[in-house]
Amino acid sequence: MSMAPTPVPAPDSALASALDALCCALGGYLGRLRAVWGPASEGTDLQGLFGTVGAPPPADEAARRHFETHLAGVVASATSGEPYARLCAALDLDPVERLTTAAVWWAETDPQFGVLLGCGHDDGALRHASAALLRLALLPFGAAPPPSWEPADPLVRLGVLVPGAGPRGPLALTATARRLLAGLTLPGAAPRPSDGTAGSARVAALLGDGAVLLRGAGDLTRIAYESATEIGQLPLDAGELSDPEVRLAARFGGYVPVLPADRLPALAWMPGDGPLIACGSADSDPCGAQVVPVPRRSPADRAAVWETALGAAGLAPEEARAQGRRLGARLTLDGRQAGVALTQARAEAAAAGREWTVDDVWRAARNLPRHELGRLADLLTPCFVLDDLVVPPDVRAQLDEVIAHVALQDVVLDEWGFRGRLPRGQGVAVLLSGPPGTGKTMAAEALANGLGQDLFRIDLSAVVSKYIGETEKNLARAFDDAERCGALLFFDECDALFGKRTEQRDAHDRWANLEVNYLLQRVETFTGLVVLATNKQQALDEAFLRRLRFSIRFEVPDRALRRELWRRAFPKGTPCDGLDVDALARRELAGGSVQNAALAAAFLAAADGGRVRPAHLTHALRREYDKLGKVWAEETA
């Protein structure tokens, strides 16, 4: 069976007219060269050669009419709607700039035109357009290209040509200009249907030919994308584009670049450059942009989004309202993301041969933004549950209370009205303090397991920066992403970040104090669960302790708890002979040290007959005592 041929798009008539004009100009230049050199057997006309140096003579009348006819075709097609004509009109290019753009396009797309350019350079390997060659070819027709295209010249400043070619170097189109001229959609451009929120509508009403700066704690990127879609444009993630290419995309039409606010000063955006949306923090310099404050989306709004999505998926109204409130209290996803999570949950349930549940939706939803938070934190797979902890009853009771405070937010804060009493501190901040090895990290994992949340441990190497302000920006992203995906944010050895503020003696003290100040404020406004662990509670800033919902102290276990730790130290499959749990419990060790000693004894036993005996444990305990700097003493009855 024969396949239908792939349809070939109609040629751009303006580019074709430009090619004819360029061939006419280059043909005249090559004709002059041929007249000088002539056949090799006749020698070289030196006087004629010297006569070609400097400004070339005007073209003859016939060539001029031919050139001007095709150049008029380039100008006349400005309203044709074809990509090249659109670009020339949007950037208000003059005839020389139009011809230069066309020459570079044809050099990159038509090998035969490249051969013609190689002849003009008198080097077949130089099959590119250059400023010097185009100048020699076009001067006889009254067009005067610059000797080279500099950064301030329109074609470079507006993102058409790559800067730095020089007079004889290869002129090249930017990736953005190349795709626009080819009629292709720019990468990173995609529509985003609106949830119908007031924020998107307000920004859309302001989008004209200038820049809009979104500032606040809400989902700025989501609102930017929805606003661009509402005015019939494609939102464009312009983070990877150069400043000239951003300007080119906006002026070309059909795109609204979206980028970080810290790029506004370098862009120096003008009202005629087209629509642009910048997203930034409260201290972002607007640089002439219209500022739109974006508050954090309220739990009621988030609950409404989930209620709509769950209702559309088939849940009864009452059930959709109740489950929407539960999900909205802990997840800050928009309507599109909620729909994606529902689709994924239903697909996974169908693959397992069962009906989907809201728990499936929760698991799918919390995974959506994981890749963003993963840049600043390590995803830990929780291995423990609360019943695995060997802790005093009071500690266990407080951990159960933490789970209740998080799981029942929708009841207490929303149904019972406490959210109106808490403008700040709606999240749950938990401090786990105590000596090493007493179970703080294990408790954080158990909390994540009990709540069905992902556990992200902040990676200090990725968050802390030597550059002023970068640490705060990284922490802001971590907190925002944790709120969005409903993750437990875990700061291990938190005294490294939450240490006491000091007297300001120099600039280093000032900036260190600012980092602590930011953390104090952000923990108070965080709406999720943040767990902090430290061995040095006395090193924490006193103002931070006030912002805690729970402060749980883990102590070295007493003998009864140590007996239970030793009972659980060896898995059921471990062969053991003659172990005296009561005798082992007399050794004052924390749970981590107990587990280390048990593991070391298991390896000793595996290398010595395959059964764990008291001698192996004694040897392992001696090693553990040496590691802890404690004096080993033989036990007596």
The answer to whether residue 186 is domain-embedded is: no
| 337-383 residue pLDDT tens | 788 889 899 999 899 999 998 888 888 887 775 556 777 888 888 88
The answer to whether residue 192 is domain-embedded is: no
Q: Which residue has the higher pLDDT, 151 or 334?
A: 151
Q: Are 12 and 83 in contact (CB under 8 A)?
A: yes
Q: Are residues 309 and 276 in the same domain?
A: no
Q: What does the H/E/C string look like for 29-85?
A: HHHHHHHHHCCHHHCCCHHHHHHCCCCCCCCCHHHHHHHHHHHHHHHHHHHCCCHHH
Above 50 in pLDDT, residue 1?
A: no
The answer to whether residue 432 is domain-embedded is: yes
pLDDT of residue 205: 74
pLDDT of residue 46: 56
Above 90 in pLDDT, residue 130?
A: yes
Cα–Cα dist 117/105, whole Å: 13
Above 60 in pLDDT, residue 72?
A: yes
Q: Are residues 29 and 58 in the same domain?
A: yes
Q: Are residues 254 and 153 in the same domain?
A: no
Arithmetic mean of pLDDT, 293-321: 84
Q: Please, how many CA atoms are within 13 Å of residue 243, restricted to the half-sphere of its CB? A: 15
CA distances (Å), origin 511, targets 280, 460, 468, 473: 21, 17, 7, 13
Above 80 in pLDDT, residue 118?
A: yes
The amino acid that residue 354 corresponds to is R
pLDDT of residue 177: 95
Q: Show which of 320, 343, 368 is a domain's final residue.
A: 368
Above 90 in pLDDT, residue 443?
A: yes
Q: Closest by alpha carbon to 276, among 217, 334, 203, 216?
A: 203
Q: Are residues 426 and 508 in the same domain?
A: yes
| 595-636 residue pLDDT tens | 999 999 999 999 987 889 988 999 999 998 898 888 887 764
Q: How many residues does the chain have?
A: 637
Arithmetic mean of pLDDT, 81-91: 89
The answer to whether residue 636 is domain-embedded is: no
Q: Phi first, then psi: what are they for 258, rounded to 5°?
A: -120, 125
Q: Are residues 160 and 107 in the same domain?
A: yes
pLDDT of residue 518: 73
Instruction: Say which range, 77-81, 188-192, 222-226, 376-380, has the weakest mean pLDDT.
Output: 77-81
Q: Show which of 259, 278, 294 is a domain's final residue.
A: 294
| 533-586 residue pLDDT tens | 888 877 777 777 777 889 999 999 999 999 999 999 898 889 988 788 888 888
pLDDT of residue 52: 58
Q: What is the pTM of this model?
A: 0.63
The residue whose two tokens read 């002026």 is: 251
**Structural domains of the chain, count:** 5
Q: Are residues 276 and 357 in the same domain?
A: no
| 146-164 residue pLDDT tens | 999 999 999 999 999 999 9
The answer to whether residue 430 is domain-embedded is: yes
pLDDT of residue 115: 92
Q: Are residues 541 and 457 in the same domain?
A: yes
Q: Are residues 349 and 458 in the same domain?
A: no
CATH classification of the domain holding 596: 1.10.8.60
| 454-474 residue pLDDT tens | 888 888 777 777 776 677 778
| 11-68 residue pLDDT tens | 578 888 889 989 988 988 888 777 766 554 455 555 555 555 666 777 788 888 888 8
Q: Phi first, then psi: what are they for 8, rounded to 5°?
A: -100, 125
Q: Phi first, then psi: what are they for 490, rounded to 5°?
A: -115, 120
Q: Are residues 94 and 172 in the same domain?
A: yes
| Burial zone of 422 (CB within 10 Å; 0-12 exposed, 13-18 middle, 19+ buried) | exposed
Q: Are residues 611 and 592 in the same domain?
A: yes
Which residues make Cβ contacts (< 8 Å) with residue 387, sequence separation at least 6? none
Cα–Cα dist 496/145, whole Å: 61
Q: Please, how many CA atoms are within 13 Å of residue 583, restricted to the half-sphere of its CB? A: 11
Cα–Cα dist 203/198, whole Å: 9
Q: Are residues 584 and 448 in the same domain?
A: no
pLDDT of residue 246: 95
| Burial zone of 74 (CB within 10 Å; 0-12 exposed, 13-18 middle, 19+ buried) | buried
Q: Are residues 261 and 124 in the same domain?
A: no
Share of the chain above pLDDT 90, in %: 29
The answer to whether residue 193 is domain-embedded is: no
CATH classification of the domain holding 521: 3.40.50.300
pLDDT of residue 499: 65
Cα–Cα dist 496/175, whole Å: 44
Q: Show which of 279, 294, 309 is a domain's final residue.
A: 294
The answer to whether residue 257 is domain-embedded is: yes
Confidence tier at 80 by pLDDT (50, 70, 90): low
| 211-268 residue pLDDT tens | 899 887 667 888 888 888 888 889 999 988 999 999 999 999 899 999 988 899 899 8
DSSP state of 632: P
pLDDT of residue 34: 76
Q: Which residue has the higher pLDDT, 536 or 273?
A: 273
Q: Which residue range(s) make up the domain with 315?
A: 299-368
The answer to whether residue 187 is domain-embedded is: no
